[in-house]
A and B are shown apart, each in its own frame.
Chain A
Amino acid sequence: MSTEAWTLIIVGLTFAFYLYIGYMNRVRETAGFYVAGRGVPAIANGAATAADWMSGASFVSMAGLIAFLGYDGAVYLMGWTGGYVLLALLLAPYLRKYGKYTVPDFIGDRYYSNTARSVAAIATVFISLTYVAGQMRAVGIVFSRFLQVDILLGVIIGMAIVAFFAVLGGMKGITWTQVAQYSILILAYLITAVAISVKLTGIAVPQIALTFSDIAVRLSELQVELGLKEYLAPFQNFSLLNVFFITLALMIGTAGLPHVIIRFYTVPSVADARKSAGWALLFIALLYTTAPALAVFAKYNILNTINAKPVEEVHSIGWVQSWAETGLLKLEDKNGDGVYTMTADKETNEIFFDRDIIVLSTPEVAELAPWVVGLVAAGGLAAALSTAAGLLLAMSSAFSHDIYYRILRPGADERQRMIVGRTTIFVAILIAGYFGYKPPGFVGEVVAFAFGLAAASLFPAIFLGIFDKRMNREGAIAGILTGLIFTMVMIVLIRSTRLLGTSEPILDSFLGVNAQGVGVYGAILNFIVALVVSRLTSPPPEEIQHLVEEIRVPRGAGKATAH
């Protein structure tokens, strides 16, 4: 059977499976819709969080990104995992104890202010919306590359699937679908990585093969020979200062992303929230420790197969042919010596490959059966769809629960709230789909925005709300606004060539830190302003101080959620 037929069958089967799970887990009441009735076991919530977290970009592009950045690719590896330690130790157990539905819920109640609630809700919607557009795009691309359908049709199919289980099942449907999606995406990733690891080193565990084989050293030497940067040496692409700040910004941002935080409302107890964060990171680490191995092996293999090899020989290789057709692999014998040579100089370089090729081409490069290619396509779709679903729910709950129910119509009954919840998810899907089809020209900036804003606004506000009993409304609001505005302005100024269309960036960097790392300064400013303003204004009311004491101890978690 052909690769296309296999891909179609596997993608079709997995989609039918998601629809079935979504239908089985449809819900009627609000608690089921927003927090899955708080009945999700710790380990299942861990898998769902992992699927929620690992986006289409993590699956398809991360290994490629690392392959190009070498050592400095660690900013993403450490940044996107280290944040879970902050989340597990500083936020998750307390938010679970507090036991409401959303992040703005906590901020609004803790700071006894609808202004704080609205600011948090708007930040949630903005962060989630910028992030979700990229997911729908990834869905469209996978469809068009593997199934030769139009990107628009791909996006519409993806939207329909997400709409089905998100609108019908809310958090409950999304959670159990994500557990299934995690299984598919990790299976696809590991099969691919193990296969290329065995082919190059004879060792079946990619992590061990990376550490104990000499492939990484040989790749590093080969890169130096070709005039490229040394793979194993730090700070070749970013300065030490930037590596430090970007890593920290991604860590703090990860801990402040609303769609990740709300996952910890779904487990039955505080003890489960703690454990669940561990499971989530374990499941994520499975992919994140595999990715650097895959990056080294795939890059080494591609360079070794093509570089310094005669033109005819290279063109007789099957996968070279098929990837050259997609335009992701470009070969041109510029000096006409009959040999393809890779160099660091754009003018003379004869081998160009897109970073997405690292993961997507590996099944063919490692000569795996055609069904594995289908599984990788299904894995990429699973990663994109699960992340999109989680983001849509976070966005919809911030709007329908926090803005509509808590601020605009406090008297709304269960049925009205469910209608508004489902309608906002549906509208959010349409908006996301539109951005997926016609992406704004600054997709790369989106990540900097989402993480920078989460780090500079939500994380400090939640952290101080738990650990600083004296923190009050005035301090928190002043802090959030300072962090938010500072970070936003900095990103716009540093990336002004893309965002404002200026010919030169208005600002090169802020104290040597680029747009991706500037959120750390935003977070620090938020902390300072919040602490100073809170000490100059009156302390929070008695009952709020009791609330803080209450969330610091696990006992009584169930009572807090009774409604």
Chain B
Amino acid sequence: MDKQQNDQARAYWRANIRLIAILLVIWALVSLGAAILFAVPLSNFNVGQIPMSFWFAQQGSIIIFVILIFVYAWRMNKIDRQFGVEEREEDQS
């Protein structure tokens, strides 16, 4: 592997780690944060008729988890193409 390729691979990995870090921060905020650590203060606000912390705990966090994975798949495929490391036809078995 020559130097330019090496730098390219490193930049790709950094972009990947950055995306993962951002998404995992959101992941922790909506579940461990909104539904657990900040559950008591957030009980004072409502979503519809139920307390906001309860909504996050039993509905919202799960919905956001699903969105996070699809966002990851979409962004990651874009990063793959940007760095020219996406799979080619012949790669697929």
Contacts and interface: CB of A to CB of B under 8 A. Distances in A.
A74 B55 CA distance: 10
A88 B70 CA distance: 9
Contact of A281 (B20, B49, B69, B93): B69
A46 to B, nearest CB: 10
18 contacts: A71-B57, A74-B58, A77-B62, A78-B35, A82-B27, A89-B69, A210-B58, A214-B49, A217-B49, A232-B51, A232-B54, A244-B32, A278-B72, A289-B58, A553-B9, A555-B87, A558-B90, A558-B92
Interface string B54-93: 1101110111011011101100110010000111101111
B87 A82 contact: no
B72 A274 contact: yes
A498 interface: no
B31 to A, nearest CB: 5
Contacts of A282: 66
A85 B23 CA distance: 9
A452 B12 CA distance: 34
Contact of B36 (A39, A213, A247, A288): A247
B45 interface: no
A210 B20 CA distance: 32
B43 A233 contact: yes
Given A77-B58, A274-B76, A277-B69, A289 B63 contact: yes
A558 B53 contact: no
A274 B47 CA distance: 31
B36 A285 contact: no
A211 B61 CA distance: 14
Given A88-B69, A89-B23, A552-B13, A78 B31 contact: yes
Contact of B77 (A271, A281, A552, A555): A271
Given A82-B61, A210-B50, A213-B49, A268 B93 contact: yes
Given A268-B93, A285-B62, 20 more contacts: A66-B58, A74-B61, A77-B57, A81-B61, A82-B61, A88-B72, A88-B73, A89-B72, A211-B47, A234-B40, A234-B53, A240-B37, A247-B31, A274-B77, A275-B70, A278-B69, A285-B63, A289-B59, A555-B87, A558-B87
Contact of B80 (A84, A210, A233, A554): A554
B86 A555 contact: yes
Interface residues of B, number: 48
Contacts of A214: 49
A536 B24 CA distance: 30
B5 to A, nearest CB: 11
Nearest to A216: B50
Contacts of A78: 31, 35, 57, 61-62
B50 A556 contact: no
- List of 5 A-B pairs having minimum Cβ-Cβ separation, nearest first: A74-B57, A211-B48, A274-B73, A278-B69, A558-B91
B49 A269 contact: no
A510 interface: no
Tell which of B23, B37, B65 has the most Cβ of chain A within 10 Å. Answer: B65
A556 B66 CA distance: 28
Tell which of A74, A217, A277, A552 has the most Cβ of chain B within 10 Å. Answer: A74
A187 interface: no
Tell which of A85, A90, A552 has the most Cβ of chain B within 10 Å. Answer: A85
B65 A82 contact: yes
B93 A562 contact: yes
Where chain A touches its partner, the secondary structure class is helix
Given A73-B58, A234-B40, A234-B53, A84 B65 contact: yes
Nearest to B19: A89
B40 to A, nearest CB: 7
A394 interface: no
B87 A554 contact: yes
Contacts of B92: 268-269, 557-558
Nearest to B49: A214
A207 interface: yes
A346 interface: no
B59 A244 contact: no
B81 to A, nearest CB: 10
B32 to A, nearest CB: 6
Contacts of A232: 43, 50-51, 54
A38 B9 CA distance: 27
A557 B87 CA distance: 7
A549 B9 contact: yes
A292 interface: yes
A96 to B, nearest CB: 10
Interface string A219-247: 00000000000001111000010011001
Contacts of B85: 553-555
Interface string A80-117: 01101100111001000000000000000000000000
B30 to A, nearest CB: 9
A178 to B, nearest CB: 20
A553 B61 CA distance: 30
Contacts of A244: 32, 36-37
A248 interface: yes
Nearest to A275: B73
B6 to A, nearest CB: 9
A211 B49 contact: yes
Contacts of B16: 552
A557 B13 CA distance: 17
Interface in A237-282: 240, 243-244, 247-248, 251, 268-271, 274-275, 277-278, 281-282
